[in-house]
Structure 1
């Protein structure tokens, strides 16, 4: 029997069968079994309260063999007390505490192999040149290292906890910052809304005052003309009556000065121009539209043969077909026009056009369908696929299609902004000099993709600038 098995047997003999722990004040029953005195007493106390379990007075069954044993016959077992004490002081070694090769206790530690060994392994050829320490001494060294690692790890845990608390506070601070920014955004937009409401009311008041002023002049002019018409009709009736009289009566009536035409002079009031001074201008609207700005460039392949396109970034003229070369079906031949390279079939888009007009030639810009007629002269109206405004220096600026209130300017703007909202079915034009609204086309939906459209006048009539490309007609 090996040492482990012997120690296990010793442990079993020193263990109480009731509490399964080492004996404490062991006693022996009449049948020869041993128990802790307190364990057997409690067991028999429980058995006394159960009916039908006692066959003789003061006799109780043994917990192991069930043989009746008088309670007064319990004898102390002093030898077993010593055995239990020895087993308690020298616990049974486990299988893991023994060398698997020699079945000896692992009392040494090999530093080179980093593993426990027994005294037999120490004398072997394999471990003889190695540095070997007693297990307790090696454990102390490793325990010291372990304590260092534990201290370091605790420091890292504390640092991690501090960083975690810091991050939690940062999260709280960030959320407070977001809330403050949210409140600020709402407050600023509310402020702008109130300013826009004030500006709206101011413009409406100005328009109302202008309406009342102009309407008063128009009504006064109408009343004066009505009165003058009545006077002229009365004079006409008098003259017609004179024409029906006899010659003598006619000659006598002609001596009366009030009956003559010169006695009722005709005066025509000065015409009141129907030009609105109050413009539609929303503060900050152009800045908002610029968020949808596109880098629109005219397509040289669609340009009129004598329309020159100069790219400022590349510092070169874009290609145009030489004389005598057949033109493609995409090229405009009826007017000095061009369209943008990209067609839009959804979304919102904004671009700006600069102009330097000379002369009085008619220009146009806006959008057109991607399949408009490019070889025939057709009116540039929405029903023909054009949504444009026409510009002419020194004359009025107005959309090609009739509008309820056509825009009239003494001078065309030097820069025009074009905003296309495809889903809304709208094309709007703005004067970038003062941010005022010029005109808006609105319909339920567009019939298909749209392209930016640019049309110039005659040679030497000026230039048009789209992004980095300058357009003019070759003279």
Structure 2
């Protein structure tokens, strides 16, 4: 018997007939056959659930000879355990060197299937027409290919490692750049903070100087009036005392007494106070910050006063035309004033928009926000109590205030007004969009509900208002 046949026989003896692998913890049945302990247990467990012939209690058929064998008679086969371990470790008996189907040495290599085969496989129909090489020749041929592939992968590994080193260097450089930029941001913002602190100090000093100058003029005027009042009171007391004297005493020196009136120069100094403070609240860069919240506000044509024209410059068309029959339109339309509201309502967040104006004449305009449910058919004062947070705009002298609460009126409004709504803070602020000067702020604990941008124009031929790309004016 040659070595190959001996190896095949030894492998057969060390192989379990159930799992077809080397024995693991082999046991022997009463009939003399050997199996892995777990394999025979699983086989008998499966046999329990099958219907068929009656089995003796505790006995099961042998998978090899079908003879009944008591389960408790299983005996460990220590010798077979050693043989299986030797077969498992011996190089000549490794299962990868034998054909799984025929247990023959793998001496040939099929070029079509690219797999080792045995001589029995070579004669089979599956491989009979295939080209084959001896394993040794195939190994030499594929060693050359493997060397080429290994050379390729070594080169690619070298390239990858160089790229990794480059990326690591780029990472370090990028982090250094980010660190430098972070430090620069901190420095530049600190500069701005210092600049704002200095600008704040300068504005406060300017305001203080303006206040002190005006206060001094008012105090001088008040002191002069106090002195004049004291003199008048003194002369009045003297005249009252003289009027209570006897007639003869009263007439003595009456000429000098009466001359005091003509000699006294009564003056009423008038201090010309400016209509507003010269010092303007203007924070550098504030408009740029507010523009980060800027939105494209568009008036709602469905809410517009019937004779309020809305022209969309991008679409080159009118959004709202005056009705021919004079019908007021839907419930959402303003009929008491030439007004309109924005298409969006705001119930949270911060929002900023700008409105351009070309005012002519002396008509009053209004601009700001309003509740989404304000009265649109009745004339009501545009005040916070009625759901309006607006400023009035007019050219020329400020009109006399009405008896009812009225909004703040700007007698010389800028050509562009910025409106900033901070819903959570309960604030609506107005700014000159050109230079950032603060015009007015409404502040309260909270708004009662959603708000809409509000626009109100004056009479016909009083000018135009521009919101985003929409131009509004009242039809004459």
TM-score > 0.5, shorter chain as reference: yes
8 A Cα contact 2:305 2:338, kept in partner? yes
Residues 299-323 of structure 1, C-alpha deviations (whole Å, 9 max, x = no match): 1111112222111112222224513
Superposed, 1:144-159 pairs within 5 Å as 144-159=144-159
* Aligned residue in 1 for 2:334: 332
Residue correspondences, number:
395
Match of 1:383, SS state, is helix
Deviation at 1:120, TM superposition (A): 7.3
* Aligned residue in 2 for 1:313: 314
8 A Cα contact 1:396 1:408, kept in partner? yes
* Aligned residue in 1 for 2:291: 290
* Aligned residue in 2 for 1:175: 175
Residues 29-56 of structure 1, C-alpha deviations (whole Å, 9 max, x = no match): xxxxxxxxxxxxxxxxxxxxxxxxxxxx
8 A Cα contact 1:332 1:338, kept in partner? yes
Match of residue 348, structure 2, among 343, 346, 349: 346
Comparing 264-273 with 144-153, which one deviates more in the overlay?
264-273
Deviation at 1:285, TM superposition (A): 0.3
Deviation at 1:172, TM superposition (A): 2.3
- Pick the structure with greater CA Rg: 1
Match of 1:192, SS state, is helix
8 A Cα contact 1:394 1:412, kept in partner? no
* Aligned residue in 2 for 1:372: 374
* Aligned residue in 2 for 1:162: 162
8 A Cα contact 2:362 2:396, kept in partner? yes
* Aligned residue in 1 for 2:139: 139
Deviation at 1:423, TM superposition (A): 0.3
* Aligned residue in 2 for 1:233: 233
Match of 1:227, SS state, is helix
Residues 176, 399 of structure 1: alpha-carbon distance in 2 compared, 3 angstrom cutoff: farther
TM-score, L = length of structure 1: 0.74
Deviation at 1:292, TM superposition (A): 0.4
Residues 20-78 of structure 1, C-alpha deviations (whole Å, 9 max, x = no match): xxxxxxxxxxxxxxxxxxxxxxxxxxxxxxxxxxxxxxxxxxxxxxxxxxxxxxxxxxx
Comparing 458-467 with 170-179, which one deviates more in the overlay?
170-179
* Aligned residue in 2 for 1:6: 6
Deviation at 1:173, TM superposition (A): 2.4
Structure 1 CA distance for aligned equivalents of residues 116 and 400 of structure 2: 101
* Aligned residue in 2 for 1:111: 111
TM-score, L = length of structure 2: 0.74
Match of 1:346, SS state, is coil
Deviation at 1:372, TM superposition (A): 1.1
* Aligned residue in 2 for 1:355: 357
Structure 1 CA distance for aligned equivalents of residues 429 and 100 of structure 2: 93
Deviation at 1:399, TM superposition (A): 11
* Aligned residue in 2 for 1:69: none
Structure 1 CA distance for aligned equivalents of residues 173 and 371 of structure 2: 54
* Aligned residue in 1 for 2:446: 445
* Aligned residue in 2 for 1:388: 390
8 A Cα contact 2:394 2:409, kept in partner? no
Deviation at 1:454, TM superposition (A): 1.1
* Aligned residue in 2 for 1:31: none
Match of 1:256, SS state, is helix
Residues 399, 338 of structure 1: alpha-carbon distance in 2 compared, 3 angstrom cutoff: farther
8 A Cα contact 1:348 1:419, kept in partner? yes
Residues 265, 150 of structure 1: alpha-carbon distance in 2 compared, 3 angstrom cutoff: same
**Unaligned 5+ runs, structure 1:** 12-89
8 A Cα contact 1:395 1:409, kept in partner? no
